A and B are shown apart, each in its own frame.
Chain A
Amino acid sequence: MTSSGNAVSAFSTGYRTTRRDLLRGTSFLALAAGASALTGCSLFEESSDVGSTGEKGKGKPAQVMRMGFPNFPVIDPQVITNGMWLALRGVFEGLIAQNPKGSDVVPAVAEKWTVSPDGLTYTFSLRTNAKWSNGDPVVASDFERTLKRLFTPSQASAGGTTMGANSYQAATGIKGAVEFLGGTLTDWSQVGVKATGDHELQFTLANPNPGFLLGLTHPSMLPLHMDSVEGKPKEWQNAGTLVSNGPFKVSKWTQNSAMSLTPNEHYWDKGKVFLSRIDIELQESVATGTATVPYENDEVDIVAIVDADAIRFQKDPTLSKQVRSVPTYSIAYLAKLRSSNPALDDVRVRKALSLAAGRADLAEIGPGLRPGTSLVVDDVPGWDESLALKEDVAEAKRLLAEAGFPDGKGLPTVRILAGVQSPLIDGLIDAWKKNLGIQAKADIVEAGVYVERRWQVQAGDYIGYYFGTFAGLHTWPVMVGVLWSPLDVQKLGLPANIWKQYQQTETNTKLKPAERTKQLEDLLSKNATPQTRQLAELVEKASATRDEQEQLALFKQAAKLRDEQFLYVPLTWGDAMFAVRPTVKGLNLRAAPEFFYFKGISIEKGAA
C-alpha cells in the first residue's frame, strides 16, 4: 500500500534527485570516455603520412611498398617466429646472401671468402664500409658475439632467451656449436667461430659441409648489434631502438597490427635500395580473406595466398595474372605414433598404408600441391626418380594380408593425430578406407595436447600417425641430416618400452648433461633397428666425404633407406603462392622460406 505512495512521491518530489543521480551514474561512463580521450592522441598508430598511404592508393608517395605478412611477437632472428624471416628479407644482412635462383651464394657483408683444402675452415673478409643503422661499423666480433648468444641457451640478460625455439640449424655443422648449446661444452674458445681481425671472421666445421655457405643465409646466422642487445635487453627490438645492418631499419611497430621499414642511411649498398618505405600489415590468419581482402582493396601490393583464396585468384581473369608461385619446401608428412599395440611396428603395415595413400588425389585438394613421393623434395640438386615412391594398391593389400590383416581385418582403427584441421587428413582417411577397407579416423586436438601426445606411448589399441608440415633449406645435409634426422628416425624406430626408458633418461635432471648423453647413446646403440643405425652411419659418412659425387650418392642412399622405413611418410609437397601487384618491380621469388629480399625492389607508378 505504501509503495504506491512512495512511488508517487518519488515522481512528484524526488524528480531532481533522480536526475542528479542518473547524471552521477552516467558520469562513470563519462569518466571512462575521458580516460580514453586523454590517451586519444596516442591511441592510433603514430604516423605523419597516414593520409598519403590511405586506402584506394590515391596520392601515395613514390616507392612505398605495402605488404601483408603473418603476425609475429619478436623480430629477434635467433628465435623461431615469422619475425626471423622478415628480418632476413632486409632488416639484417648476413655474411652472404642467396643468388636470384637460390642455388648459390653471393657476397653481402663479406666481400670474399676462402675455404681451406680440407673443407673445414672458412675465412670471410668483411667489407670495411658495412655499417649499422646507428653508424657503427659492422665488424667480425659482431658476428662472433651474436653467435655466442645463439649458442647460449638461457641468456635471459641478453635480450630475452631463445626460449627453446632456437633457430640454429644443426646441419650448419659449426664445430662445438651443438655441444655448447646442449651444455656439454662450456669453453667458448672450443666453438668454431672466431673473429680473427676487425674484418676477418673464421668458421671451423666439425665435418666438411658442402651446404655450409647456403646454411649461412639462414636467419640464425644474421648479426645483431650486441652492444644494444646487451645494453638494452628489453628495448633493443623496439622500433627506433633496433640497430640493424640491412638495407632497411624498423621505424614503426605497432605490436599485432603494423610495422614500417625505412632505408638504413648507413647501408653500404644504398644504390640498390629503391623503396623509401615498406608498410607491413601484420595479419593474424583468422579467416579466409584476411590476407586477400586488403590486396583486392588496394591496401597492400604483395601478399601470400593459400587455399580457397588461391583457387579464387587463379580463376579470376585479372587477378590470375598477378599470381606468382614458387616451389618451396613445405612437406606434409606423417610420423608413426608409438603404441602399446604393435600393429604399426610391422614395416609391412606401414608400407601398405603409404602405398595406398592416394597422393595424386591429395594433391588435387589444394592449390600448389604436388604428390609427395619422398621426404627429400624433388628440386634438391641431384634428386631423381629412383627416390620416388610408386603407389600400388594391389601390393598394399598383399602386404596387409601378409602381415595378418587381410582386407584390414583385425587392424585397429588408424588415427591421424593433428593440432589443426586439414583437408589432407580427411582425404587420406578416405583413400585408406577406399583402397584398403581399413578403419581410419582423424583425431584433432588442441596444440598443447598435440605436442604432448605425439611423443607418448599410446595406450590400448590406439595406433596411427601424427600429422605435421615441415620446411627447410634445399640441401642434402638439411633434408637428410636435419629434417627427420637419423637420430629422430632411430628414436622413432625404438620399441615402445625402450622409448619409455629413453624419455625417462632424457628428463632425468639428476644426471649431468654428459652422463645423460652417454646413457641415451647407449640406449640407442643397443636398441635401434639395424636399418636406422645404418642410416645414421650413412649420413655421418656422407657428411665427412669431400668428393661431391660420392657424397651425393651416400645421401641418396640414406634418403632411400629412410623412406623405406615408412616411419616418416611424405604426403604432399607444397608450392607457395603470392599475389603481386604489377607496380612492384624487381621482386625475385626464390624457393626459400623468406621467399624474397627487399633489396632491388622498386615501385613503378602507372604500371598496370
Chain B
Amino acid sequence: MGTGFLGYLARRVGRVVLSLVAVSLITFTLLQLAPGNFADIQRISSGATTIGSAGTEDVVNAFESRYGADVPQWKQYLIFMKGAVTWDFGPSYKYPTLDVQEIIATAFPISATLALLSVILALLIALPIGVFAALRQNSPADHGMMFLVTLGHALPGFLSAAFLVLLFTATLHLLPSSGWQGPQNLLMPVLALAIGPAAVLARYVRSSMLETLREEYVTAAFAKGGPRRTVIIRHALRNSLIPLVTVVGPLLASLMTGTVFIEALFRIPGLGLYFATAAASRDMPLLMGSTLFFAVILMVTNLLVDLVYGVLDPRIRADGGGGPRRAGTGSGKDSAGRNGKDKDRGWVRSRRRKLSPPISAQEVQ
C-alpha cells in the first residue's frame, strides 16, 4: 500500500493546490467586480465627518495603489499571491497595523477552541438522542425526539444565542453577557453553536444506527447472547459512528473559521468578525487571506476525513479483493480496470458513504 498511498496523497494534495488557485482567482475577480471600494465604504460606515471633497480622490488613489503606483489589477493579484505562497498576506486595509497572517494566528485558536468544544458538546447531545430514537423507531418517543431535533435544526444560532443571553444574563444574572476573560465566557457561545449541529448529528446517528441494527453481524451478536447494552454500544454504535466522521469533519472546519454573529454578539475575538468585515469593507488582503485560509482548512479537513475513513473502514480503500464495497463507490468495471493496470493502487478517492437514504438490505448483499 506504501507507494500507492503516497501517490494517492500526492494526487489529493495536487488537487488541493489547484483548487486554491481557482478559489483565489474567483475571489479576486469577484472583489474587483463588486461595487464600491474600501475607502468610500470606510467613510460612510464610520459615521463621522469627512474632509469633504478636497483632495479625497487623490487620497483614494494613493491608498488603492499601495501595491505600487497604478498597478493593474492582474499584477496586484500576482503580488498578493507571491506573498501568499510564503504565508505573507501583507497588512489588512481595515486593520493596517496587523498582517493578515497575524490576524489568523491570533484569532484562529480562539475560533478553533469554540468549534471543537461545540462539536464535542453536539456529539454528547446527539449520540444518546440518536441511539435512543433508533432503538425505539417509530415509537412516540422517537417521534417526539425527532420533532425536537427538527426544531433545534431549524433554530438559527443567533436566535438561540439571543435566547441564552436573555435567560442566563438578563433574567438570571448568572453569566456575563459577553467578553473573553475566562471559561465563564465560553458557556453560552458553545451552547448556542452546538444546538444546530447537535440536531443534525442526532438525525445522522439515528439513521446510521438504524442501518447498523439491521446488519447481520448485529443479529449474530444478539444471537450469541451478549448483553443488550454491549451489543448496542460496542457493536452497533461503534460501527454506525464511522459515517459520522464525514459529517463532523466539514462541520468542524466551518465552525473553526469563525461564526460571525455568535462571535460579534459575545465579543469573542475570533476569526468570524474579521472574515465578515473583510468582504463588507472590500479589504482585499484580508478577504483573500481569509478565503484562502478557509479553503485550506476545509480541504485539509476533507482530506483527513477521507484518510481517517479509509483507516476506519478498510473496505473503502477498494483494494479490489472482491470484498464488499460500499454502495456508490463506483462501478465494478471501474474498479476492475484499475486492478488490471496497477495492483498497488489501493487508495482511490473515496466517495463518502451516503447516509440518506440508509443503505438497505438488498444493496448489502
- Contacting pair A169 B179 (CB below 8 A): no
Contacts of B320 in A (CB 8 A): none
Beyond A170-B51, A472-B49, A488-B52, is A281–B365 a contact (Cβ under 8 Å)? Answer: no
Question: A226: shortest Cβ distance to chain B, in Å?
Answer: 16
Q: How far, in angstroms, from A520 to B116 measured CA to CA in the complex?
A: 58
Interface residues of B in 149-175 (CB under 8 A from A): 158, 162, 165, 169-170, 173, 175
Question: B79: shortest Cβ distance to chain A, in Å?
Answer: 14
Q: Is B34 among interface residues, defined by CB-CB distance under 8 A?
A: yes
Stretch at the interface among A107-115, A177-185, A190-198, A335-343: A177-185
Q: How far, in angstroms, from A53 to B192 measured CA to CA in the complex?
A: 25
Beyond A256-B267, A287-B162, is A43–B110 a contact (Cβ under 8 Å)? Answer: yes
Closest B residue by C-beta to A478: B49
- Contacting pair B62 A161 (CB below 8 A): yes
Closest A residue by C-beta to B364: A3
Closest B residue by C-beta to A46: B181
Contacts of B216 in A (CB 8 A): 4, 7-8
Contacts of A3 in B (CB 8 A): 324, 364-365
Contacts of A159 in B (CB 8 A): 96-97
Q: How far, in angstroms, from A84 to B261 measured CA to CA in the complex?
A: 25
Q: Is B141 among interface residues, defined by CB-CB distance under 8 A?
A: no
Contacts of B50 in A (CB 8 A): 80, 165-166
Q: Is A56 among interface residues, defined by CB-CB distance under 8 A?
A: yes
Interface residues of A in 33-49 (CB under 8 A from B): 33, 35-36, 39, 43-45, 47
Question: B147: shortest Cβ distance to chain A, in Å?
Answer: 28
Question: Which size class do A's interface residues fall under?
Answer: 35 or more
- Contacting pair B220 A153 (CB below 8 A): no
Q: How far, in angstroms, from A162 to B56 measured CA to CA in the complex?
A: 11
- Contacting pair A43 B113 (CB below 8 A): yes
Interface residues of A in 136-162 (CB under 8 A from B): 153-154, 156, 159-162
- Contacting pair A50 B52 (CB below 8 A): no
- Contacting pair B267 A483 (CB below 8 A): no
Interface residues of B in 7-65 (CB under 8 A from A): 34-63
Out of B48, B53, B179, name the residue touching A80 (CB < 8 Å): B48
Closest B residue by C-beta to A237: B97
Contacts of B93 in A (CB 8 A): 163
- Contacting pair A7 B215 (CB below 8 A): yes
Q: How far, in angstroms, from A141 to B20 measured CA to CA in the complex?
A: 50
Stretch at the interface among A443-451, A457-465, A580-588: A443-451
Question: B163: shortest Cβ distance to chain A, in Å?
Answer: 12
Most A Cβ at <10 Å: residue of B51, B96, B304, B322: B51
- Contacting pair A153 B58 (CB below 8 A): yes
Question: A550: shortest Cβ distance to chain B, in Å?
Answer: 25
Q: How far, in angstroms, from A21 to B315 measured CA to CA in the complex?
A: 13
Q: Is A134 among interface residues, defined by CB-CB distance under 8 A?
A: no
Out of B181, B261, B264, name the residue touching A44 (CB < 8 Å): B181
Beyond A4-B216, A73-B95, A257-B268, is A181–B35 a contact (Cβ under 8 Å)? Answer: no
Q: Is B329 among interface residues, defined by CB-CB distance under 8 A?
A: no
Contacts of A234 in B (CB 8 A): 91, 97-99
Contacts of A283 in B (CB 8 A): 178, 267
Contacts of A238 in B (CB 8 A): 97
Stretch at the interface among B124-132, B233-241, B332-340, B343-351: B233-241
- Contacting pair B42 A164 (CB below 8 A): yes
Question: B94: shortest Cβ distance to chain A, in Å?
Answer: 5
- Contacting pair B311 A24 (CB below 8 A): yes
Contacts of A506 in B (CB 8 A): 57
- Contacting pair A164 B59 (CB below 8 A): yes
Q: Is A188 among interface residues, defined by CB-CB distance under 8 A?
A: no
Contacts of A54 in B (CB 8 A): 176, 181, 184
Q: Is B328 among interface residues, defined by CB-CB distance under 8 A?
A: no
Out of A8, A183, A290, A296, name the residue touching B58 (CB < 8 Å): A183
- Contacting pair B46 A258 (CB below 8 A): no
Q: How far, in angstroms, from A8 to B264 measured CA to CA in the complex?
A: 51
Q: Is B195 among interface residues, defined by CB-CB distance under 8 A?
A: no
Question: B255: shortest Cβ distance to chain A, in Å?
Answer: 11
Out of B49, B61, B116, name the residue touching A29 (CB < 8 Å): B116
Q: How far, in angstroms, from A283 to B63 measured CA to CA in the complex?
A: 28
Closest A residue by C-beta to B93: A163
Question: A194: shortest Cβ distance to chain B, in Å?
Answer: 21
Q: How far, in angstroms, from A451 to B45 measured CA to CA in the complex?
A: 10
Q: Is B3 among interface residues, defined by CB-CB distance under 8 A?
A: no
Q: How far, in angstroms, from A506 to B59 measured CA to CA in the complex?
A: 13
Q: Is B273 among interface residues, defined by CB-CB distance under 8 A?
A: yes
Q: Is B355 among interface residues, defined by CB-CB distance under 8 A?
A: no
- Contacting pair B264 A286 (CB below 8 A): yes
Q: Is B203 among interface residues, defined by CB-CB distance under 8 A?
A: no
Q: Is B74 among interface residues, defined by CB-CB distance under 8 A?
A: no
Q: How far, in angstroms, from A22 to B39 measured CA to CA in the complex?
A: 52
Q: How far, in angstroms, from A501 to B191 measured CA to CA in the complex?
A: 57
Q: Is B66 among interface residues, defined by CB-CB distance under 8 A?
A: yes
Contacts of A166 in B (CB 8 A): 50-51, 59
- Contacting pair B42 A257 (CB below 8 A): no
Closest B residue by C-beta to A183: B58
Q: Is B308 among interface residues, defined by CB-CB distance under 8 A?
A: yes
Q: How far, in angstroms, from A282 to B98 measured CA to CA in the complex?
A: 18
Q: How far, in angstroms, from A82 to B46 measured CA to CA in the complex?
A: 7
Nearest first, the 7 A-B pairs at minimum CB distance are: A448-B36, A164-B39, A182-B55, A160-B96, A154-B62, A451-B40, A3-B324
Binding site for A on B (CB under 8 A): 34-63, 66, 70, 91, 93-99, 106, 109-110, 112-113, 116, 119-120, 158, 162, 165, 169-170, 173, 175-182, 184-185, 215-217, 220-221, 235, 238-239, 241, 245, 252, 261, 263-265, 267-269, 273-274, 280, 282, 304, 308, 311-312, 322-324, 364-365
Listed by A's residue number, 14 A-B pairs whose Cβ atoms lie within 8 Å are: A8-B220, A28-B308, A35-B109, A45-B180, A54-B184, A163-B96, A169-B49, A170-B51, A170-B52, A234-B97, A234-B99, A256-B273, A449-B36, A450-B36
Additional 5 contacts, C-beta under 8 A, given A165-B39, A182-B54, A234-B99: A3-B324, A45-B181, A257-B268, A258-B181, A470-B49
